[in-house]
Amino acid sequence: MATRDIEADYRAAHLDEYHAYRRAGRTKDAARVAALLRERYGTNVEQSESDEPQSRAAGLERADQERPPEAAVEPKPQKPEKPAAKVDAKAVRAWAAEQGLEVPARGKLPDSVVEAYQVAHGGE
């Protein structure tokens, strides 16, 4: 599997940013990005305008060539189905107490208790 050159991708993104700032007339921002490119990548972008398209295209081409195919993403596993029918919580608690099952006095009833109640009462 080909490894992706993240630094080449960052360099290409910074080159794009630099050229966008230049086209927009934002010279301070372009100078800041140019300094970053010089310090981090040894790239002198403040060349003549005739050299600009070639150096920019070369940087982007390299970044595109080294990209591996996108990884396949597996879907998350589905959660098990919860009991579809609504039940009367008071009735389930009373039934569970008769059966000797421990259930909380308040809050959500355990699915296993609700399922057992439904089986005992014919799927109510």
> Rounded mean pLDDT of the chain?
78
Tokens representing residue 85 in the block: 């029918």
What is the pTM (predicted TM-score) of this model? 0.37
What angle (nearest 5°) sits at the alpha carbon of residue 45, between those of residues 65 and 36? 90
Q: Domain spans of the chain?
A: 6-65, 89-120
Q: What is the DSSP string of 61-108?
A: HHHHHTPPPPPP-PPPPPPPPPP-S---HHHHHHHHHHHT----SSSP
* pLDDT per position as a tens digit, 47-95: 534 444 555 555 555 555 555 555 666 777 777 666 556 888 999 999 9
